[in-house]
Structure 1
Amino acid sequence: MKFSLRPQDAAFYDFFSRAAQNLMHGTEMLMELALPGADVQSVSERLGDLEHDSDQITHELYNKINSTFITPFDRSDIYNLGSGLDDVMDHLEAAGNLVYLYGLTKLPALPREMHELVDVLDQQAKITANAMPQLKGMKNLQEYWVEINRLENEGDRAYRMLLVRLFSGEYDALTVLKMKEVADELEKACDAFEHVANTIETIAVKES
């Protein structure tokens, strides 16, 4: 049986789980943009509230790190994980906010490839939220980071196909610029999910 010399302070894992749950709620809100008659302003405002809540969680996490003598694992890894989760939320909120501010839902429909990218993010969010409770025991996490990496590759393909669609001549130049900015935020969120998974892989290797 393996014994750990580090304290297993449940508060740290609670912060990570709360942040991951917020990401899952965030992608669910973005999924609403594909629904007929979606209230885009409401989606944007709720994403803003969720982003503020995630900022607060990150702030509480940092305070916990600074007030704890011995942490469950390396402080730098805790900072990186907390920061990585917060980065994902920032990109999700930015994408939803830009769709609203740019009035993109006034188009007949958002590109199918954009919805495919959001679907990838929704899958990443659910897998990440499900993995967080396993972090305390550092068990059965390899499947998580392998799947996140696979989804990130899928997201890259959706992003590239979206760019092809945007520059096909189907949209006017101003609309292309607006939608590309949204697409870039979605792609960054996809990458940020992979960064979170890479951080967890690093932690798991160190603690094994």
Structure 2
Amino acid sequence: MKFSLRPQEGAFYEMFSRAAQNLVRGTELLSELALPGADVQSVSERLADVEHDSDQITHELYNKINSTFITPFDREDIYRLGSGLDDVMDHLEAVGNLVYLYGLTKLPALPREMIEMIDVLDQQAKVTALAMPRLKQMKGLKDYWVECNRLENDGDRTYRMLLVRLFSGEYDALTVLKMKEVADELEAACDAFEHVANTVETIAVKES
């Protein structure tokens, strides 16, 4: 039987789980953009609220690290994981905000590939949210980071197809510039999810 001298401080795991649940809320809000007659202003505003809540969780996490003598695992890894989760939320919020500010929902429809990227992000958010509570026991995590990396590869392929469509001549130049910025944020969010998964893998290897 393996014994650990590190405390099982539940507050850290709770904050990771709360941050991950916010990512699920964020991707679900982005999914509304695909609905006919979507209230994009409402989506953007609600995403901003979720992003602010995630910022607060990150501040709580950092304060907890600084006030805790012995942490459940390396402080650097706690910072990296908390920061990584926050980075994902920042990208999700940016997507909703740009779609609103650029008025992209005035188009007949958003590109299919853009909606597919949001779906990939939603899947990444859900597997991440399921994984965070398992950090406490460090069990059943390998399937998570393998799946999250697989989804990131799907996101990369979809992103490339989206770029092909944007530069196909289907859209005017100004619309292409606007949608390219949104596409870049979607791709950055996929990458940020992968960074979170890689951090979890590093933690699991160190603690095994």
Superposed CA deviations along residues 119-163 of structure 1, whole A, max 9, x for unmatched, are 000000000000111010000100000000000000000000000
Q: What is the correspondence of 1:43-122 to structure 2 with a 5 Å cutoff?
A: 43-122=43-122
How far apart are the structure 2 equivalents of 1:2 and 1:152?
Answer: 34
Give the Cα separation in 1 of the matches to 2:119 and 2:4.
39
In 2, Cα distance between equivalents of 1:151 and 1:106: 29
Measure how far apart 1:101 and its partner are. Answer: 0.2
Cα shift readout 1:82-126 (whole Å, capped 9, x = no counterpart):
000000000000000000000000000000000000000000000
The AA in structure 1 aligned to 2:171 is Y
Letter in 2 for 1:19: A
Q: SS state of the match for residue 136, structure 2?
A: coil
Deviation at 1:2, TM superposition (A): 1.1
> 1:140, 1:13 → 2: CA distance?
15
Instruction: Tell me the CA shift for residue 79 of structure 1.
Output: 0.1
SS at match of 1:2: coil
Aligned residue number for residue 205 of structure 2: 205
Aligned partner of 1:126 in structure 2 is 126
AA paired with 1:163? L
SS at 1:98 equivalent: helix
Q: How many residues align?
A: 208
Structure 1 stretches (4+) deviating beyond 4 angstroms? none
- TM-score, normalised by the number of residues in structure 1: 1.00
Aligned to 1:17: 17
Partner of 1:174: 174
Q: Deviation string for 1:9-48 (max 9, x for gaps)?
A: 0000000000000000000000000001100000000000
The letter of the residue matching 2:192 is A
Query: Are residues 1:154 and 2:166 paired?
Result: no
Tell me how far apart the structure 2 counterparts of residues 166 and 120 of structure 1 sit (CA, whole Å).
19
Query: Structure 1: 5+ residue runs without aligned partners?
Result: none
Quick one: percent identity of the two aligned structures? 87
Give the SS at the match of 1:135: helix
Tell me the distance in 1 between the aligned counterparts of 2:113 and 2:10: 40
Partners of 1:108 and 1:140 lie apart in 2 by 44
2:176 is matched by which residue type in structure 1?
V
1:139-150 superposed matches below 5 A:
139-150=139-150
